[in-house]
A and B are shown apart, each in its own frame.
Chain A
């Protein structure tokens, strides 16, 4: 089983749609959670950290469910510029080095 699993997509949605991505992780001791965004042929960039109580940044909402070990990202009112690959990121346990583990990403394509 992969340490971080995501549906690769692609998700094809019209402008203005609401779209949700889920991600599951295997390490119950993980403490840090992030969503990164990666545009085609560019480097990953931090979109938002994910906090236990859930958090929102404009049109983006992230949720964490520790009991079920999954993370979600909700994008409301999708824009053409939201087209990208979204990477779910989780850290390893400290005794395993605490490194970040990146999911393979979910591709989103927003159409006019």
Chain B
């Protein structure tokens, strides 16, 4: 059974804080993704990675950065949190090939005050 875990289910931060969201998968998947999900906007891809130390911008990378130092771990960093980054953040992984089934973590609900 594929397992994707995220470091926090709920997080409250203040504007300007640096925020780290961690994601770990245990199935040796090549690809990892970070999305945010907002009402009426659906899932939007922030960044993805298809290999260790590799990263690619998604559709809305502004205000975010990522790190993938190990295959199983993909971190999302909000350099200076803003209120418009209040959202549900979902991490996903897939085996290989970009069109493969993605498996999601439980999500982190981030509130930026």
Q: Is B101 an interface residue (CB 8 A)?
A: yes
Nearest-CB distance from A7 to chain B (Å)?
13
Residues of A within 8 A of B105 (CB): 43
Interface size on B, residues (CB 8 A): 21
Please tell me which stretch of A59-67, A76-84, A99-107 contacts chain B, meaning at least 4 of its Cβ atoms lie within 8 angstroms of it. A99-107
Whether B102 and A98, one on each chain, are in contact in the complex, defined by CB atoms closer than 8 angstroms, is no
Partner of A43, one of B40, B41, B107: B107
Summed over the interface, the residue pairs from A and B with CB atoms below 8 Å come to a total of: 46
Q: Is B56 an interface residue (CB 8 A)?
A: yes
Chain B residues close to A by CB (< 8 Å): 35, 40-43, 45, 48, 56, 58, 90, 97-107
Q: Can you list 8 contacts pairing A with B, beta carbon distance less than 8 Å?
A: A34-B101, A43-B107, A44-B90, A46-B101, A94-B98, A100-B102, A103-B42, A105-B42
